[in-house]
Amino acid sequence: MTEVVYRFTVNGQPVELAVPGMRRLLDALREDLALTGTKEGCGEGECGACSVLVDGAVVDACLVPVCQVDGSDVRTVEGLATGPEALSPLQEAFLETGGAQCGICTPGMLMAARAFLDDGAEPTEDAIREAIAGNLCRCTGYTKIIDAIAMAARPA
């Protein structure tokens, strides 16, 4: 396959990858950039485990070819932390409420929640449920995840 150079930012850092254009963003993140926080669940865009933000919008990285993010800003779960040893308030809320269990869905849930909180919508239970609707969890029953997002939405 022909490789092309694609340039975009990931978590605020410019990156340049020489890869086939149809390489999945998920594979580029995990294998080429060693950002393994983004998980592969189904590989078909059904579970949301691989959710990342591209120019602020939630996308399933398993469905997006690298050629579509050329020139874009990509944010992964690694980009949520406020420092090398400091979690974001959203991540802290997930820990405090028990919103993370097995960990497969957690990165995607965090990214969907981050986009929801960034939009500034009213953090009602229904609004939060709608915001994370594309992300499946088989462990928590969603209650703790919703509690975490509501907690993170409260002013500090």
pLDDT by position in tens, the chain (length 156): 789 999 999 999 999 999 999 999 999 999 999 999 999 999 999 999 999 999 999 999 999 999 999 999 999 999 999 888 899 999 999 999 999 989 999 999 999 999 999 999 899 999 999 999 999 999 888 999 999 999 999 976
Decide yes or no: CATH 1.10.150.120 for domain 89-153. yes
Domain boundaries defined on the chain: 4-78, 89-153
Give kind and range of the element (H or E) at residue 92. helix 89-97
- Residue 1 · residue 20 · CB < 8 Å: yes
Decide yes or no: CATH 3.10.20.30 for domain 4-78. yes
Q: How far apart are CA 53 and CA 46, in angstroms?
A: 16
Structure-token pair, residue 110? 């965090």
Going by C-alpha positions, the residue among 108, 110, 109 that lies closest to residue 89 is 110
pTM score over 0.85: yes
Instruction: Say whether 89-153 and 4-78 share the same fold.
Output: no
